[in-house]
Amino acid sequence: MASAPGDDIDILAKAKRALPGDYTPSEDEEYMSEKQLDYFRVLLLQWKKSILSAAEDTLQSLQDGPIREADLNDRASSETDWGIELRTRDRQRKLIAKIDAALRRIEDAEYGWCEVSGEPIGINRLIARPIATMTVEAQQAHERREKISRDD
């Protein structure tokens, strides 16, 4: 029952496998061509569908009944598993908001461009993280600034 942090990655991989056809964007094509945008649109929608399906499974499990282990240790273990599962679903709820934002960026012709520098994010980064909003360099600079702010 307990979800591992890798679940988000597993769900994205499952979404990629469910895509129709065998097209994968490449660096050799025109950046953010209609074909690439369609690929990412379908990928994001499939990813969202997979997350919602997993959430339904969790909800169904919660509705099936309370934890009934007689042994206190088993019950504590089950409650810990439920806590982890619910935190995972909360993280995925936030991920759905990011997916929706990426879909809006596709519609607004802003998808694939760094929100900080305006440069292309890059096909390989978007394939690995379809909700990315910054280039690797901009993301690293952002994370350095966050770390410095926390350390102050």
For residue 22, name the pLDDT band (cuts at 50, 70, 90): confident
Tell me the chain's radius of gyration from C-alpha atoms. 19
68 pLDDT exceeds 90? no
Tell me the per-residue pLDDT of 70-93, one tens digit each, with 9 for 90 and over: 777 777 877 787 788 778 888 888
Q: If DSSP codes are grouped into helix, strand and coil, which group holds residue 5?
A: coil
pLDDT value at position 64?
64
> Averaged over 102-130, what is the pLDDT?
96
Give the angle 127-141-31 at the CA atoms, nearest 5°: 35
Instruction: Kindly report the pTM of this predicted structure.
Output: 0.77
Q: If DSSP codes are grouped into helix, strand and coil, which group holds residue 59?
A: helix
CA atoms within a 13 Å half-sphere pointing along the CA-CB vector of 42: 16
Return the residue matching tokens 């980064």.
125
27 and 123 in contact (C-beta within 8 Å)? yes
CA atoms within a 13 Å half-sphere pointing along the CA-CB vector of 76: 3
For residue 5, name the pLDDT band (cuts at 50, 70, 90): very low
Looking at the chain, how many residues does it have? 152
CA torsion 81-86-87-91 (nearest 10°) is: 140
In terms of average pLDDT, the best of 3-17, 36-50, 57-71, 74-88 is 36-50
Four-residue CA torsion sign, 100, 106, 111, 116 = negative
Domains and CATH numbers, the chain: 7-151 (1.20.120.910)
37 and 119 in contact (C-beta within 8 Å)? no
Query: Whole-angstrom distance between the N-terminal and C-terminal Cα of the chain?
Result: 40
- Helix or strand (DSSP H, E) at 41: helix 34-63
